[in-house]
Amino acid sequence: MPAPLQGPPLPKRVAVSVDPTQTGVNPVVAEAVQRAGRLLEEAGYTVEAVDPPDFFAIFEDWFKIIRAEAPYYSTPLIQQYGDDRLRKLHANDMKDAPATDTYQYMEALARRTGWIRRYNIFMRDFPLLLHPVSSELPLEHSHDRDDAESLNWMRRIMVPCYTLAVLGLPAISVPTGLSGGLPTGVQIVGPRFREDILLEAAAVIEAGCPMETPIDPRF
């Protein structure tokens, strides 16, 4: 793909969505997104509160696609090479996955093509989309390995990451500080092959949200 490292100028317009899935978001997460939006606005970006289209529905189709493909691809490899924890995680992941027949699989792939086109059009008006990485604060280590219910809940709060995987759009996560010792952050999404404008916007947010050094610099 002959994509240049620096693309043509685009409007500095940002769609900010505090709750893109419309399922609720932790107030600390919401404040992080709003803070990042203010920093971009101060740097000369035009910032508007706009929710992206069909965000949660795209995630649901991601699950259908994964459910149809996993038995033929990832499951055999996990059974062969994975440890007990990974096998348990995968089993829990498939436990609540809806059964997907061939027709449903094809329909989900067809909708994916339509959504990609819709987001390409959306990003003509808003080349940048700012939203949470997760609707909740970071989880405890190995939370996804506890049981099927914990994994299902984790999947729900991480919808922004899964949706972008379906669309194939570039994105970057940027830290915004700490809350109660836990890191907060936001995610910026851009058009295909325009990582350059993502990095520019991320640099603005990073400069306005200095992070504490995680280690003692004397060692």
Task: For residue 191, give the CATH number of its domain.
Answer: 3.90.1300.10
Instruction: State residue 71's pLDDT score.
Output: 85
pTM of the model: 0.88
- How confident is the chain (219 residues) per 10-residue block, as mean pLDDT? 87 97 94 97 98 93 88 91 87 71 91 95 97 88 65 84 92 91 91 95 94 64
The whole-number pLDDT of residue 144 equals: 59
- For residue 110, CA distances in Å to 107, 114, 166, 178, 203 come to 5, 7, 12, 41, 36
pLDDT at 116: 96
Strand partners, 150: none
- On whether residue 1 sits in a domain, the answer given is no
Residue 41: per-residue pLDDT: 98
- Note whether residue 215 is domain-resident: no
Q: What is the predicted pLDDT for the residue at 138?
A: 83
Q: What is the pLDDT of residue 187?
A: 97
The answer to the question of residue 22 being in a domain is: yes
How many domains are contained in the chain? 1
> Which pLDDT does position 156 carry in this prediction?
86
| 3 falls within a domain | no
On whether residue 8 sits in a domain, the answer given is no
The owner of tokens 């069909």 is 54
Q: Is residue 183 part of a domain?
A: yes
Distance (Å, whole) CA 36 – CA 188: 10
Q: Does 57 reside within a domain?
A: yes
pLDDT at 182: 81
What's the domain range around 179?
A: 13-208
Q: Residue 99 is which amino acid?
A: A
What pLDDT sits at residue 114?
A: 95
Q: What is the dihedral of CA 85, 133, 61, 143, to 10 degrees?
A: 20
**Residue 125 token pair:** 């008006």
Indicate the SS3 state at residue 79: helix
Domain assignment present for 219: no
Give me the residue label for tokens 């990974």.
Answer: 86
